[in-house]
């Protein structure tokens, strides 16, 4: 007789092992390694909640303290490798296989460990892709998650940084897995319930509050005049041109400059109400002046941002908030929103090749993808129309026959880069470092962040290349060379062809848009420093200490 | 410091103008000074903290002159490692001030 509930039986056995050691639902910090040893088995798939922002750092540390003779060959399935402990488990022989999305701060060490054979990588995913696999073939057996507070029943309050928690817990709890949550405090009554207690098996009171990073704060004082010029080009040449209302901005000073030019430059062009009303975006402090000037109708967020809590609380018409007043973020749902319901993604990158493929992977750093590929890809499953989407689709399909003649829209995917990065590193290259990285790490395909056939525009200080209008590979290559400035790729342009592309509106320069470069000064920024942002928020924004210089 | 000199021909003579100064000498930035000169064409004298970028400077100033075609103008540049993007922006900002004066 086949056992159709072996996973549930196994789950019960694990819980009984924990109970026999005296572990109750609410666990003290010093009993945590006992708990982990009791519920983990070799070769388990384990998720440590490591998001962009909050980190289940205490549980991650406890995992490194287990005896590899008892717990070994774990298969880690987690979105972000942010902490040293996330890689320590592989060095210690506790884990051996990894499926992940993003490894920002650990990227260099990860590349080293992979080439030394210290761990095996299943695949590098986008966030949404990894979450999806939690529900197909990478379902965690045990998940170590993170919340602000819990009550005695195990109900969790995440506070504004809900982030990945719902996706992880849902996949684990409903497939006979075990969910352990680290919390900052125990409360009799929670402000709101973000995760129901019967989905949570154990609650650990951490010795200190979980780590959290203000990743999306950009000090306006560091925005350059070139970034102001590029923001003017973006607003007049793309946002206004397509009437982009629903969008996602990548992280960085280029996009912060655009946010800070909405109430000034864009307002002077009469664009208020015509662009930038609905966002899939973390609560960027740089968006405060635009919100205060009445530009923004709604913002849904992947996670929160340190210091923005009170501002968000006082602006519930704009942000998604709970009955308690604080933000409810959700990375999986915001990724879906950015993919299906936004008409534009604009973000920066490190390298772009002659086909428009772009990558943030450079030699000896395995950084992963995060969410950019989901934001920066045409949503092939999209069926609703909007003016911006229809116009981009019309440009891509104009004059084409056969299967391409069917009317259909396209997402605007804009890559914005200065032609040279710091230390005169060219952003345009003949061949992406990703090819060599793929070879070094034995990856099946080069790690490309945004594929060239998804990129619709490349924006540099030299102008805008509209790839939607290119009809041949040669036109595409010259359009890219034509905005690549004085990089070797740019200097190798065919000047006659590039001028022809400019005549046809495939390349647009500042002067073609009537932009006077003398206007590209920092005085155009709605906030010129952190203090201006605080002032714009009416004192509600409370920047982390490291951003306070007054 | 590396010193570079370029002589380029041009056809647009601006109206008489007082020297134009844009930018500042600071890290990653530069100072551009335009002065009237009796000589024909446009001369550029560049002092830069970054060595070995003469071919890029040449391309930048040739493109500048292709855009503006100045004659009777001497350009002096003090550069502290600005990217070509910043150099072009400053040159265009300086030239824009010129033509405005010429119109006035």
The CA distance from A259 to A549, in Å, is: 22
pLDDT tens digits for A121-130? 999 999 999 9
Chain B residues touching A226 at Cβ < 8 A:
83, 85-86, 89
DSSP state of A220: G
How many Å lie between the alpha carbon of A266 and the closest alpha carbon of chain B?
A: 21
What per-residue confidence (pLDDT) applies to B11? Answer: 92
Over residues B29-42, the mean pLDDT reads 94
Q: Cα–Cα distance between A276 and A257 in angstroms, integer?
A: 14
Rounded to a whole number of angstroms, the distance from the CA of B31 to the nearest CA of chain A is 14
In a domain, B71, yes or no: yes
CB pairs under 8 A between A and B: 43
Per-residue model confidence (pLDDT) at position B98: 84
Summarize pLDDT for A86-117 with one digit per residue, the tens. 999 999 999 999 999 999 889 999 989 988 88
Sequence-separated (6 or more) residues with CB below 8 Å from residue B60? A486, B84, B87, B88, B91
Q: Per-residue pLDDT tens for A32-78?
A: 999 999 999 999 999 999 887 899 999 999 999 999 999 999 999 99
Flag whether pLDDT at B104 surpasses 50: no
Please choose, from the candidates A102, A181, A100, A174, the residue with its C-alpha nearest in 3D space to the C-alpha of residue A143: A181
- Residue B102 domain-assigned (yes or no): no
Domain assignment present for B52: yes
Weakest mean pLDDT among A48-57, A217-226, A317-326, A412-421: A48-57
> Mean pLDDT score of chain A, rounded to an integer?
96
Helices (H) and strands (E) in chain B, counts: 2, 5
Contacts of A461 in chain B (CB under 8 A): 85, 88-89
Q: What is the mean pLDDT of residues A371-396?
A: 97
Structure tokens at A178: 């075990």
Q: What is the CATH number of the domain that holds B46?
A: 3.30.230
Instruction: For B57-72, write each residue's pLDDT tens digit.
Output: 999 999 999 999 999 9
pLDDT digits (tens, 9 = 90+) for A130-176: 999 999 999 999 999 999 999 999 999 999 999 999 999 999 999 99
Q: What average pLDDT does this structure show over A263-285?
A: 98
Domain presence at residue B67 = yes
> Could you identify the residue written with the tokens 């102008």?
A463
> What is the rounded CA–CA span in Å between residue A81 and residue A427?
26
Answer yes or no: is B103 within a domain.
no
pLDDT-derived band at B100 (thresholds 50, 70, 90) equals low
pLDDT of the residue at A426: 94
Mind listing the pLDDT tens digit for each residue in A208-259? Answer: 999 888 889 999 999 999 999 999 999 999 999 999 999 999 999 999 999 9
> Tens of pLDDT along A462-478?
999 999 999 999 999 99
Residue B49 lies in a domain: yes
Q: How far is A518 from chain B (nearest CA, A)?
A: 5
- Helix, strand or coil, per DSSP, at residue A374: helix
The structure's pTM equals: 0.95
Q: Please report the pLDDT score of residue B103 as a whole number.
A: 45
For residue B50, what are the domain limits?
2-96
Q: How far apart are CA A468 and CA A476, in angstroms?
A: 9
Residue A437, pLDDT score: 87
Residue B104, domain member (yes or no): no
In a domain, B69, yes or no: yes
Closest chain A CA to residue B58: A486
Search chain A and give the residue with CA nearest B95. Answer: A518
Q: Judge contact between A206 and A54, C-beta under 8 A.
A: no
pLDDT band at A367 (very low <50, low <70, confident <90, very high): confident
Q: Which of B19, B22, B23, B6 is nearest to B61 (CA)?
A: B6
Residue in B closest to A418 by C-alpha:
B85
Number of domains in chain B: 1
In sequence order, what DSSP letters do the residues of A99-153 get, joined into one string?
EEEE-GGGHHHHHHHHHTTS-EEEEE-BHHHHHHHHTTT---SEEEEEEEEE-TT
d(CA A503, CA A495): 12
Interface test with A, best of B52, B60, B83 (most A CBs within 10 A): B83
């Amino acid at each position: 007789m086949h056992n159709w509930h072996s996973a549930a039986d196994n789950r019960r056995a694990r819980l009984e092992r924990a109970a026999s050691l005296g572990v109750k639902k609410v666990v003290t910090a010093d009993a945590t390694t006992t708990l982990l040893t009791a519920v983990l088995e070799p070769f388990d798939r384990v998720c440590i909640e490591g998001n962009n922002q909050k980190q289940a750092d205490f549980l991650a540390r406890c995992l490194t303290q287990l005896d590899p003779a008892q717990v070994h060959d774990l298969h880690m399935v987690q979105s972000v490798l942010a902490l040293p402990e996330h890689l320590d488990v592989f060095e210690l022989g506790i884990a051996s296989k990894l499926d992940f999305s993003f490894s920002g701060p650990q990227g260099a060490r990860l590349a080293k460990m992979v080439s030394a054979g210290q761990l095996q990588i299943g695949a590098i995913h986008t966030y949404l892709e990894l979450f999806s696999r939690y529900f197909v073939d990478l379902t965690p057996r045990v998940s170590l998650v993170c919340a602000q507070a819990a009550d005695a029943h195990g109900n969790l309050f995440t506070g504004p940084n809900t982030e990945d928690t719902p996706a992880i817990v849902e996949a684990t709890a409903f497939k006979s897995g075990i969910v352990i949550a680290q919390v900052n405090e125990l409360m009799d009554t929670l402000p709101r319930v973000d995760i129901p207690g019967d989905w949570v098996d154990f609650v650990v009171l951490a010795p200190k509050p979980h780590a959290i990073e203000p990743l999306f704060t950009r000090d306006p004082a560091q925005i350059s005049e070139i970034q102001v010029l590029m923001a003017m080009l973006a607003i007049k040449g793309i946002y206004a041109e397509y009437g982009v209302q629903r969008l996602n901005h990548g992280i960085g000073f280029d996009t912060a400059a655009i946010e800070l030019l909405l109430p000034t430059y864009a307002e002077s062009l009469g664009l208020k109400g015509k662009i930038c009303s609905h966002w899939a975006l973390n609560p960027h402090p740089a968006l405060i002046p635009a919100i205060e000037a009445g530009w923004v109708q709604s913002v849904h967020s992947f996670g929160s941002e340190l210091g923005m809590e009170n501002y968000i609380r006082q602006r519930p018409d704009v942000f998604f908030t709970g009955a308690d007043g604080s933000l409810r973020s959700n990375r999986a749902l915001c990724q879906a929103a950015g993919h299906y319901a936004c008409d534009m993604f604009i973000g920066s990158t490190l390298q772009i090749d002659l086909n428009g493929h772009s990558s943030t992977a450079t030699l000896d750093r395995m950084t992963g993808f995060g969410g950019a590929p989901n934001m920066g890809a045409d949503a092939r499953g999209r069926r609703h129309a909007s003016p911006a989407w229809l116009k981009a689709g019309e440009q891509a399909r104009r004059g084409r026959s056969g299967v391409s003649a069917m009317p259909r829209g396209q997402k605007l995917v804009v890559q914005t880069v200065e032609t040279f990065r710091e230390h005169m590193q060219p952003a345009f290259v003949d061949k992406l470092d990703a090819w060599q990285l793929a070879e070094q790490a034995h990856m099946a395909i080069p790690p490309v962040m945004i594929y060239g056939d998804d990129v619709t525009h490349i924006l540099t200080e030299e102008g805008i290349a509209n790839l939607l209008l290119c009809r041949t590979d040669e036109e595409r290559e010259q359009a890219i060379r034509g905005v690549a400035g004085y990089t070797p790729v740019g200097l190798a342009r065919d000047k006659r062809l590039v001028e022809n592309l400019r005549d046809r509106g495939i390349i647009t320069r500042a002067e073609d848009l009537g932009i006077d470069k003398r206007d590209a000064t920092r005085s155009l920024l709605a906030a010129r420093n952190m203090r201006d942002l605080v002032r714009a928020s009416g004192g509600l924004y409370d920047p982390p200490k490291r951003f306070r210089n007054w | 410091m590396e010193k570079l000199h370029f002589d380029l021909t041009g056809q647009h003579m601006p109206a008489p103008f007082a020297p134009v100064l844009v930018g500042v000498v600071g890290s990653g930035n530069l100072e551009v000074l335009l002065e009237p000169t009796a000589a024909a064409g446009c001369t550029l004298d560049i002092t830069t903290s970054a060595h070995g970028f003469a071919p890029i400077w040449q391309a930048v100033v040739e493109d500048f002159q292709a855009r503006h075609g100045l004659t009777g103008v001497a350009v002096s540049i003090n550069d502290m490692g600005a990217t070509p993007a910043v150099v072009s922006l400053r040159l265009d900002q300086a030239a824009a001030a010129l033509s405005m004066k010429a119109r006035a």
